[in-house]
Structure 1
């Protein structure tokens, strides 16, 4: 990071807000697609995955969307609303494709132990969750 400018790290609650915004956007896109594909049976299905299209709509589409936003905008729509961006922890540059994939997969690692890895951003001096630490990224206020 540019040593002349001290980054302002975005804390836990603002990141929660950004996540809620992103979740709502994803739901507004995926729910109608699922309904179009599976029809009236979709809301009553209790299984993890109904079929290949379910996996594409609910897992692959959000994965690709988030990764592309991180690579090209350095933020998801929710982070843009709160004026935050994800950057490489060492250089301050946009995250690489590799960092973005590691960060996304790191969400699962962060969530599995009762969300402890996500909450970690509330205690960490640079406000990094475990997914940030794994990918060597930080979330900072946009300039």
Structure 2
């Protein structure tokens, strides 16, 4: 039986994905000219209370970038993001099959709900039988640990 991807494995994958996305966002924001000191990006502290439209543009682009990264990667033949691939996790439906782009999209946006309730939706992974977070339950998905990352060096296959 293949073990479920537990809490700490998923935290490690999230850290790796965060680094990958930060690098991607740095490149995108540099190309598009967004930066911390861009006109209108910082809050207007003069009392007017208005923020320029350019404050919302980077947030919108970041949301779309993150959504496409997670949904495309998890619904691809890899069934995982770069972080999950690095440590040997895959995302499946409840029968162990590859998920669709639509289901991966639902899972991504359900993660926002998991985060909004004081991260309890993520913490649930540590305490549920099949190591599912709220977003996994809502999207009817599972995360499996498919290999031990230490075996990647030798090329050994756990299931051979």
Give TM class, smaller chain.
Answer: 0.7 to 0.9
> Normalization by structure 1: what TM-score?
0.85
Q: Distance in 1 between matches of 2:110 and 2:36?
A: 34
Larger radius of gyration: 2
State the number of aligned residues. Answer: 135
Structure 1 stretches of 4+ with a deviation exceeding 2 A read 44-49
Unpaired runs of 5+ in structure 2? 44-50, 147-158
- Select the residue among 11, 16, 23 that pairs with 2:11: 16
DSSP 3-state at the match of 2:130: coil
For residues 36 and 107 of structure 2, the distance between their equivalents in structure 1, rounded to whole angstroms, comes to 35
Separation in structure 1 between the aligned mates of residue 36 and residue 4 of structure 2, nearest angstrom: 44
Gaps of 5+ in 1: 1-5
Distance in 1 of aligned mates of 2:36 and 2:12 = 31
Partner of residue 90 from structure 2, selected from 77, 85, 88: 85
Give me the whole-angstrom Cα distance separating, in 2, the residues matched to 1:129 and 1:12.
9
Conserved in 2, the CA contact under 8 Å of 1:33 and 1:57? no
RMSD, aligned α-carbons: 2.1
The reply to whether residue 41 of structure 1 matches residue 45 of structure 2 is: no
Partner secondary structure for residue 58 of structure 1: helix
Q: How far apart are the structure 1 equivalents of 2:138 and 2:13? A: 20
Q: How many Å separate the matches in 2 of 1:35 and 1:41?
A: 12
3-state secondary structure, aligned to 1:125: coil
Normalising by the residue count of structure 2, what TM-score does the alignment of the two structures yield? 0.76
